[in-house]
Structures are given as structure tokens and as C-alpha cells.
Amino acid sequence: MKQPPRAKAVKTAPDFLPDESLPTDVKTLQAELRKARLEKQVLLEVIKVAEEELGIPIREKHGAKQS
């Protein structure tokens, strides 16, 4: 016999976060995430250029053992 579907639990913000501060926190986190993504792109490009100019692989190979 099938049981009726259960209602999904609604996730709410924790009590310690006031509703007024949430939008600014989200905007701040989005700005930090954008900055981190841009930094990652810059670093990957620097590594790519360095590998091309030096002619040696700089990135660690998958499964490489650390000493």
C-alpha cells in the first residue's frame, strides 16, 4: 500500500541572522566569489604563459606523489 508523499521540510535562515543583514551579506559574498574566480583565472593564465615560455610543465600531474 502506497503512503502519501511527505511534505518537504522548509529550510529557513538561522535565528541568529537578522533579515535586514541578509541581502548585504549575500552581496558581499557574491563580490568575494567573483574576485576569487577572477584571481583563479589570472593565476591559471600566468601558469600557462610560464609553461609556454619555459617549456616545462609547472602544474602537478594527476596522481603525482608528494615527497
**Per-residue pLDDT tens digits for 9-58:** 655 555 565 556 667 888 899 999 999 999 999 999 999 999 999 998 88
Note whether 47 and 55 are within 8 A (CB). no
d(CA 62, CA 6): 44
What pTM was estimated for this model as a whole?
A: 0.54
Q: Which pLDDT score is estimated for 59?
A: 84
d(CA 35, CA 2): 50
Q: Which pLDDT score is estimated for 24?
A: 82
Q: Quick check: 1 pLDDT over 90?
A: no
Q: Which pLDDT score is estimated for 22?
A: 67
The neighbour count for residue 47, using CB atoms within 10 Å, is 13
Nearest by Cα to 23 from 13, 11, 10: 13
Cell of 22: 541578509
